[in-house]
Amino acid sequence: MTEQVEIAVVGAGPGGLCAALAAAQAGAQVALIDNNRHPGGQYYRQTAREFRGAPSSHQREGAALLQQAIAAGVRIIAETNVWGAFDDKVLALNDGAATTYLQARAIILATGAYDRPVAFPGWTLPGVMTAGAVQTLIKEQRILAGKRFLLAGTGPLQLVLAAELARAGAQVVAVLEGSRVFPRVLQHAGALWNQWERLSEGLSSWLTLARHRIPYRVGWGIVAAEGAAQVEQATIARLDGNWRPIRGSEEKIACDTIALGYGFVPFNTLSRLLGARQEWRPELGGEVPARDAQMQTSAPGVYAVGDCAGIGGAALARVEGQIAGSAAAAQVGHGTADAIPARASALARERRFQRMYAALFTPGVGLYELSQDDTILCRCEEITQAEVRHALALGADTTNEVKLITRGGMGDCQGRMCAHLIAHFIARETGRSVAQVGMLPPRPPIFPIPITALGVTR
Amino acid sequence: MNDRRRISAEAVVIGGGIVGCASAYYLARRGVQVALLEKATIGGEASGRNGGGVRQQCRDRRERPFAIASVKLWEGLQAELGFDIEYVQGGNIRMAANDARMESLRREGAEELEDGLQVELWDRDELRRRAPYLGDVFIGAKYCATDGTANPILTTKAFGWAAQRLGATILTRTEAVSIGVEGARVASVTGRDQDGEIVVEAPWVINAAGPWSAALSRAIGVEIPVEPARSVIAITQRCAPLFREFISSHDLGVYARQAREGQVHVGGTNVPPHTFDQRAPADVLEHLARGAAQMIPALRGANFLRSWAGTLEMTPDKVPILGYVDRVKGYILATGFSGHGFCLGPIAGKLVSELVVDGAPSLSLHEVRFSRFG
Amino acid sequence: MSRIKDSPEFQRGAPVTIIVDGAPLPAFVGETIAGALLASGRRAWQHTRHGQPRGMFCGIGVCFDCLVTVNGASKVRACLTPVAEGMIVQTQETTP
Ligand SMILES: Cc1cc2nc3c(=O)[nH]c(=O)nc-3n(C[C@H](O)[C@H](O)[C@H](O)COP(=O)(O)OP(=O)(O)OC[C@H]3O[C@@H](n4cnc5c(N)ncnc54)[C@H](O)[C@@H]3O)c2cc1C
Ligand SMILES: Cc1cc2nc3c(=O)[nH]c(=O)nc-3n(C[C@H](O)[C@H](O)[C@H](O)COP(=O)(O)OP(=O)(O)OC[C@H]3O[C@@H](n4cnc5c(N)ncnc54)[C@H](O)[C@@H]3O)c2cc1C
Ligand code: FES
């Protein structure tokens, strides 16, 4: 059965919540679908509802936004995956038990992002995980994923995580920042204007680091993880301007957990499935849908906001969500898009910050050169760099061709982990650009769904 | 245009599917200097997206000898192409869920035995014994032990690589835009790639462009009755080994095989015609899920991981078109495989090479002649 | 690899026991299987086809490294699946 709704919003993070709220406030009938146990997305990640305790300010803000959305009439469809998108704006939903279809007159995608995978020798050892994984486990379950953490990556979120770990009683052996931030941040000082909340969060994290004497090593990065059955130590090195390890600078550092925080990859599968034209924008995290000023993609009536359309953080996601929510509501006959100019200055401010962030924290090419021939690039199918190299020797020169020959990208994660890694390797070996080498085409369901749940419709 | 490039060959093949690649391979093996034009990538269409079934049973009688001859080739392919194409003769089971179906399988089986194809008829008990993983909706089946499966993409690519090793020129991302005819004979094919036009001069042109073969041919006045149709496959995540046969039921409208890596591939036997659309619609995925769960109850605990669609090249009688075109000398059609071209690809390629080199094929092409459509 | 010792006002969900490969594992309602395993000190619970150990990598359900079998259902993401009293978890050898 296919239900009708005026506006369907996918993803209940900051972007999706604000979009749904704006559209509902304009008078539209809105459904907001999210696959998490608790709506809120990454930034507002809620503590398990069965726990009792004082929520953080982010969590309070997220919970309040959710309550506002519900009060404005938004129908929340939680713990439900959108596994496919079809003609005439039909979304296929699955809650693990059955499939339902939702046909919308406008769709707002706010599916967020996931941590950027980085392949280096030892990166498949237990104990190597993404910074987001460590962060999520703390926020949602108040659990530490390890004892002695090494944080390797880039950007201020690493500081926030290090401070949180320290406050929770974990040992943080070092925070490695790949970018040589300090001289360059001054060139972008203007973008910090009116970002007091961020600055104060950064400063307080910074002070926590200092208090716990956690080394913050700028211009350093991970090179390898070592250990028998799990991580026991890491090899780290000083990086050059392209993020290539400088030979001779290597150091060993003992740790049991390596948290990788090298930014995020936009989750653009649904916009691709809906036919939205994509662009390769490394500074925005990778492949993202092209959009107009109202956040509409090239597919009419399909909007994309927040990280899934280009990494920009929660504040930008909120503004984009508000704009898309009003625009989509106006499109289906509710209110006018008048609200949009009012958001212009907030949008401009966040875009400035986004540009600064990208300029400072977009990893250099060296990050993709850490893998060796025996390093696994595709975790699911356990395909090594040597196997990809062999496929290139056979004539493959796109990510998809490599997938067909090696199985790299055919595994359970649908290529989300390896596509970027394989693409960068092909680009480097063939001298083509990553844009030419391409990403993998979407192949629904975008998450595996039980055969019984697909065969049964509600 | 002075930026036109020209190359010459003894034969030019249009289309880098299994039929085109096998043609190029067998031609090159016979010492023919061959060039192949592929608009995208080798095996990127149906040949690399299909169910991987290599089946002789349940064929139209006209097509049967070709399937039998093709399987003879398949048996030696792995060694010949020097690549692991995952070919196994795991058998093929066509199930019946009602008496009428069983009766038609019985009739077909008798005909197959007459034509020299070894098949077995299984009653309900035999089916339970031989294929205990099947659901209890089936009352019997027909089985062919020499049928099997292979990896579609790797087989097609392996043909291309082998042809290349034998000296064939393979031009990918090169679309054939026209066929040149001089007098009553083909003379060239003009292709287009990112650098512009390229003309391949050759006295033989093989049209193996699958569902796109008709469009190319129309311009030289040869109307091929080939229509596109969509076929969808959904696959599960890896499962423990469940079965090795290629199984199908026209009563449920689904077929399945388990790939060597453990994923179960499930396809549908009904294909909507007249479309080049390669998106898998939701109702088809639902149909595959229901069919899979009914056909193989153990899959009720499995997940579908992904799906894709491919475009078939259907003829009005669902039998291929293979052979010369009387009016245009040197023009060979190898198209219209109507959903069976993966199995038939090797023999089709070999016959094409015989048409070029020997002027006479080793199997009669009478039943698959183009002129049957008058 | 531990539960954070928060202030006394903070409380986890009700204590439950899940069965992991036949052995009881204490957990609290609200935790995920991956959370409970990690809190108990276990880093790896899946083995790849090539015998490599894997545990949690992405933590948000996108990488599929953390798969377990739960009450007979295979390929369940431990990082997304909340624990429940008596839940039977088998750590998974990927097949074949
Ligand atoms: C693991 C992780 C942790 C992060 N932690 C922080 C942090 O602590 N601080 C910070 O400033 N930034 C953090 N970020 C960055 C974060 O992406 C942004 O700050 C912000 O959350 C982006 O908001 P958004 O609305 O674009 O998307 P998100 O907040 O990512 O929300 C997207 C939502 O959509 C859901 N979704 C995606 N696809 C589907 C689908 N097909 N069907 C149904 N639902 C779907 C997701 O599960 C998620 O709930 C984190 C990112 C990640 C990946
Ligand atoms: C989902 C599905 C399941 C199937 N299952 C089976 C099965 O189990 N067993 C079986 O035997 N068969 C099966 N088939 C059918 C089989 O795949 C096809 O019959 C066979 O692949 C046809 O091969 P081909 O080389 O003629 O065509 P194609 O594979 O379609 O190749 C034609 C090629 O020509 C290229 N081309 C087209 N126009 C031009 C041009 N102008 N210039 C240059 N290149 C051009 C195309 O890009 C394409 O690569 C299935 C098909 C599908 C889609
Ligand atoms: S840890 Fe990545 S899916 Fe669970």
C31: domain CATH number? 3.10.20.440
CA-based nearest residue to B278, from B236, B312, B235, B320: B312
A169-194 average pLDDT score? 84
* Residue A47: count of CB within 10 angstroms of its CB: 21
CATH of the domain at B176: 3.50.50.60
My answer on whether B222 and B236 are in the same domain is no
Give the residue, out of C48, C57, C81, C94, with the most ligand 3 atoms within 8 A of its beta carbon, to mutate for a pocket test.
C57
A330-351 average pLDDT score? 87
Q: Are the CB atoms for B370 and B321 separated by under 8 Å?
A: yes
Distance between C76 CA and the closest CA of chain A, angstroms: 10
**Tell me: the pLDDT tens digits for B253-267?**
999 999 999 999 999
In a domain, B259, yes or no: yes
**Tell me: the pLDDT tens digits for B304-356?**
999 999 999 999 999 999 999 999 999 999 999 999 999 999 999 999 999 99
In a domain, C11, yes or no: no
My answer on whether B193 and B219 are in the same domain is yes
Tell me if A269 CB under 6 Å of ligand 1. no
In a domain, C64, yes or no: yes
CATH superfamily of A2-114+265-337: FAD/NAD(P)-binding domain (3.50.50.60)
Which ligand 3 atom lies nearest to the CA of residue C64? 3
Partner residue opposite B304 with nearest CB, options A87, A404, A445: A445
Q: Where does the pLDDT of residue A182 fall: very low under 50, low under 70, confident under 90, or very high at 90 and above?
A: confident
Q: Quickly list DSSP for B126-149.
A: HHHHH-TTS-TT--EEEEETT-EE
C43-71 average pLDDT score? 94
Query: In the predicted model, is pLDDT for residue B142 greater than 50?
Result: yes
In a domain, C55, yes or no: yes
CATH architecture of A371-437: Orthogonal Bundle (1.10)
Q: Are the CB atoms for B217 and B181 separated by under 8 Å?
A: no
Residues β-bridged to residue A106: A7
Phi/psi for A64 (5° steps) reads: -65, -40
Query: In the predicted model, is pLDDT for residue C96 greater than 80?
Result: no
**Tell me: the pLDDT tens digits for B201-247?**
999 999 999 999 999 999 999 999 999 999 999 999 999 999 999 99
Say whether A297 sits in a helix, a strand or coil. strand
My answer on whether B14 and B31 are in the same domain is yes
CA-based nearest residue to A255, from A148, A393, A172, A99: A148
Pick the CATH number of A117-262 from 3.40.640.10, 3.50.50.60, 3.60.15.10, 1.20.5.440: 3.50.50.60
Structural domain boundaries enclosing C23: 16-90
Tokens representing residue B316 in the block:
């009005």
Of the residues B314, B332, B354, the one at which a domain ends: B314
**Tell me: the pLDDT tens digits for A357-411?**
999 999 999 999 999 999 999 999 999 999 999 999 999 999 999 999 999 999 9
A2-114+265-337 and A117-262 share one fold: yes
C68-91 average pLDDT score? 94
pLDDT given for residue A382 in this prediction:
97
A283-292 average pLDDT score? 97
What is the domain partition of chain A in residue ranges?
2-114+265-337, 117-262, 371-437
**Tell me: the pLDDT tens digits for A427-438?**
999 999 999 999
In a domain, B57, yes or no: no
Question: Is B301 within 8 Å of C73 when comparing Cβ atoms?
Answer: yes
Task: Name the strands in the sheet holding A220-226, side by side, starting at the edge strand that comes first in the sequence.
Answer: A220-226, A233-238, A251-254
B261: contact with A, CB 8 A cutoff: yes
Q: What is the number of structural domains in chain B?
A: 2
pLDDT given for residue C12 in this prediction:
94
Contacts of A104 (CB under 8 A, 6+ apart): A4, A5, A6, A7, A8, A31, A89, A91
Distance between C2 CA and the closest CA of chain B, angstroms: 33
Q: Are the CB atoms for B331 and B205 separated by under 8 Å?
A: yes
pLDDT given for residue C94 in this prediction:
47
CA-based nearest residue to A324, from A61, A109, A13, A113: A109
Show which subunits contact B, needing at least 3 CB pairs below 8 angstroms.
A, C
Structural domain boundaries enclosing B168: 4-49+153-226+317-373
Query: In the predicted model, is pLDDT for residue A71 greater than 60?
Result: yes
pLDDT given for residue B3 in this prediction:
60
Residues β-bridged to residue B34: B11
CA distance A358 to B86: 46
What separation in angstroms does the CA of B76 have from each of B26, B83, B84? Answer: 14, 11, 12
Query: In the predicted model, is pLDDT for residue A192 greater than 90?
Result: no
- Strand ranges (DSSP E) for chain C? 2-3, 15-20, 23-28, 44-47, 53-55, 67-70, 73-77, 88-91
Distance between B329 CA and the closest CA of chain A, angstroms: 34
The torsion region of residue A17 among left (phi > 0), alpha (psi -120 to 50) and beta comes to alpha
**Tell me: the pLDDT tens digits for B31-80?**
999 999 999 999 999 999 999 999 999 999 999 999 999 999 999 999 99
CA-based nearest residue to B292, from B261, B248, B262, B260: B248
What is the rounded end-to-end Cα distance, in angstroms, of chain B? 39
CA of B145 to the centre of ligand 2 (A): 26
* Stronger pLDDT, B366 or C8, i.e. the higher one: B366
My answer on whether B363 and B236 are in the same domain is no
Question: Is B241 within 8 Å of C95 when comparing Cβ atoms?
Answer: yes
pLDDT given for residue C95 in this prediction:
45
Buried b vs exposed e over A366-389: b needs ≥16 C-beta within 10 Å? Answer: bbbbbbeeebbbbbbbbbbbebbe
In a domain, B350, yes or no: yes
CA distance A53 to A7: 35
CA distance A164 to A58: 14
Dihedral sign for Cα atoms in the order A446, A450, A454, A455:
positive
Q: Are the CB atoms for A334 and A22 separated by under 8 Å?
A: no
My answer on whether B185 and B44 are in the same domain is yes
C57: contact with A, CB 8 A cutoff: yes
My answer on whether B204 and B157 are in the same domain is yes
Of the residues B314, B336, B358, the one at which a domain ends: B314
Cis peptide before A445 (omega within 30 of 0): yes
Q: Whose CA is nearest to atom 41 of ligand 1?
A: A82
In a domain, C85, yes or no: yes
User: Chain A window 362-381: which residues touch C at a Cβ cutoff of 8 Å?
Assistant: 379-380
My answer on whether B269 and B347 are in the same domain is no
pLDDT given for residue A92 in this prediction:
96
pLDDT given for residue A262 in this prediction:
97
Tell me if A267 CB under 6 Å of ligand 1. yes
Query: In the predicted model, is pLDDT for residue A457 greater than 60?
Result: no
CATH of the domain at B275: 3.30.9.10
CA-based nearest residue to A103, from A91, A93, A94: A91
Percentage with pLDDT > 70 across chain A: 99
CA of A42 to the centre of ligand 1 (A): 4
pLDDT given for residue A204 in this prediction:
87
- Number of alpha carbons in the 13 Å side-chain half-sphere of residue A13: 28
**Tell me: the pLDDT tens digits for A403-434?**
999 999 999 999 999 999 999 999 999 999 99
Q: What is the mean pLDDT of chain A?
A: 94
Contacts of C81 (CB under 8 A, 6+ apart): C32, C33, C68, C70
Q: What is the ipTM of this complex?
A: 0.96
Tokens representing residue B232 in the block:
């969808």
**Tell me: the pLDDT tens digits for B1-17?**
446 799 999 999 999 99
My answer on whether B202 and B347 are in the same domain is yes
